[in-house]
């Protein structure tokens, strides 16, 4: 049986998490392809540019998840679990921590609440 009070995770949050996972996987692959030890030569300027672009894109997607305003408890839970996994063992960048904290404020919650409906 399922819990009738259980909330669904927003499709927008799931898309954001999936997009970040894909970007992170691409970043890791590009990093391996430009690693001088792995390729046996110094990386080219184009390889460094590709790595920088992939890193910037991954960071943008991660920031989008950090800024995401959770609509319900399921969103809050899944966002927290994902970010805990991403940040495990890493030092957090202040910009990301600030984005997470701002997304959790009452003002952020009010921004996604539906307008009051007349009774």
Task: Give residue limits of the domains in the chain.
Answer: 11-110
DSSP 88: T
The position carrying tokens 């910037």 is: 56
CB of 109 within 8 A of CB of 69?
Answer: yes
Comparing 76 with 114, the larger pLDDT belongs to 76
What is the chain's mean pLDDT, rounded?
85
Is residue 47 pLDDT above 50, yes or no?
A: yes
pLDDT at residue 57 greater than cutoff 70:
yes
21 vs 103 pLDDT, higher one? 21
């Amino acid at each position: 049986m399922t819990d009738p009070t259980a909330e669904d995770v927003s499709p927008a949050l799931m898309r954001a998490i999936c997009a970040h996972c894909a970007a992170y996987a691409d970043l890791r692959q590009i990093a391996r392809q430009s690693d001088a030890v792995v390729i046996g030569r110094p990386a080219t300027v184009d390889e460094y540019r590709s790595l920088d672009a992939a890193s910037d894109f991954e960071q943008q997607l991660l920031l989008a998840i950090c800024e995401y305003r959770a609509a319900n408890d399921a969103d809050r839970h899944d966002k927290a679990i994902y970010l805990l996994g991403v940040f495990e063992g890493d030092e957090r960048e202040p910009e990301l921590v600030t984005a997470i904290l701002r997304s959790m404020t009452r003002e952020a919650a009010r921004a996604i609440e539906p307008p009051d409906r007349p009774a």
